[in-house]
Structure 1
Amino acid sequence: MVTVVELLSLQGLAHIVGVPPSILATWIKQFAMYVPKAQEEDENYYLPEAIDVLKYIKQCKQAQYSFTEIENLLLSEFTSIENKSASTVYQTEDKETIRCMMQTIGLTVTNMNQLTESFHALEHKYKEQTRELNTLKKQIELLHSKQIQ
């Protein structure tokens, strides 16, 4: 059973692989059968094995291989990756440690992006409320000055 800690979001995976999420999403659609994923709470998450596959695709793209060429290379390089045991994908403790660190970084990046978006939304709302408060203060001052006269 795969736990949420072992899974990567698209954003985290993009950070690890070093490509924008939009490009990574395209690659994942194009080569879906080679990119192991899981679904949690209506969201797609990716298994750590996806890192190797997507880095390989990145190298092929940089070498300007065609879709068909990449697919043939993936077929020979990553045949039935979902059926491979974790021990064949990560054979040493060092690789396991690196994988865990990369997952943590990916999750942290995703969380930071979400927090940044929330902060900007709150900041925008604060500015709107401050403007509205200043407008109301001016209206109160105007009403108060009219009452004095």
Structure 2
Amino acid sequence: MELLSLQGLSHIVGVPPSILTTWVKQFAMYVPKVQEEEGNFYLPEAIDVLKYIKQCKKERYSCTEIENLLVTEYAVLDKQNLENKADPAVHQVDDKETIRCMMQTIGLTVSNINQLSESFHALEHKYREQTRELNKLKKQLELLHSKQIH
């Protein structure tokens, strides 16, 4: 069973983690999650639910309206899933979709790591420049101080 972190889910759904956290709390019974020692992780099925919620929010539905839509929408999906359990072709499609989502998440993670690395190097360069400037100012201060004493 593949599990997604909140951060990974955030990238896939295209919503900031803070908003996703709120949605997960508001619509908890529709967002499948697993609680582990390291924290909460989400089943791949959560992607569709959260994308649906995102679309509803975009269309300015209230939480109550979204809840009502989720009841009807995901009751139908559950019935379809039960009917498709015996069909191996459906599992293949689900597996391909899961792999696609995982690859997207990995790609976004690599991209984020590259961006963070670039930011780190830029900050490191700035730190060195500021340290040099600080040392220069210290020397000037020491020189002024020594001139005042003499």
Q: Give TM-score, length-normalised by structure 2.
A: 0.66
RMSD between aligned alpha carbons? 3.4
Distance verdict in 2 for CA 1:96–1:36, change over 3 Å: same
Q: CA deviation at 1:103?
A: 1.6
Q: 1:7 aligns with which of 3, 8, 23?
A: 3
Distance in 2 (alpha carbons) for counterparts of 1:65 and 1:110: 32
Deviations 1:83-113 (A, max 9, x none): x77x65x924233212211122113323432
Amino acid at match of 1:18: G
Distance in 1 (alpha carbons) for counterparts of 2:95 and 2:56: 25
Q: How many residues align?
A: 134
> In structure 2, what is the equivalent of residue 147 of structure 1?
none
Q: 1:59 aligns with which of 32, 36, 55?
A: 55
Identity between Structure 1 and Structure 2 (%): 49
Task: Tell me which structure has the larger Cα radius of gyration.
Answer: 2
Q: 1:38 aligns with which of 26, 34, 54?
A: 34
Distance verdict in 2 for CA 1:19–1:77, change over 3 Å: same
Q: CA deviation at 1:42?
A: 2.5
Deviations 1:34-90 (A, max 9, x none): 1112345534322101011112212322333221121122223335x7xx77x65x9
Q: Give TM-score, length-normalised by structure 1.
A: 0.66
* Superposed counterparts of 1:1-149, under 5 Å: 2=1, 6-40=2-36, 42-79=38-75, 88=85, 91-133=90-132, 136=135, 139=139
Q: CA deviation at 1:16?
A: 2.2
Distance in 2 (alpha carbons) for counterparts of 1:67 and 1:57: 9
Q: Which sections of structure 2, spanning at least 5 residues, go unmatched?
A: 144-150
Distance in 2 (alpha carbons) for counterparts of 1:8 and 1:128: 36
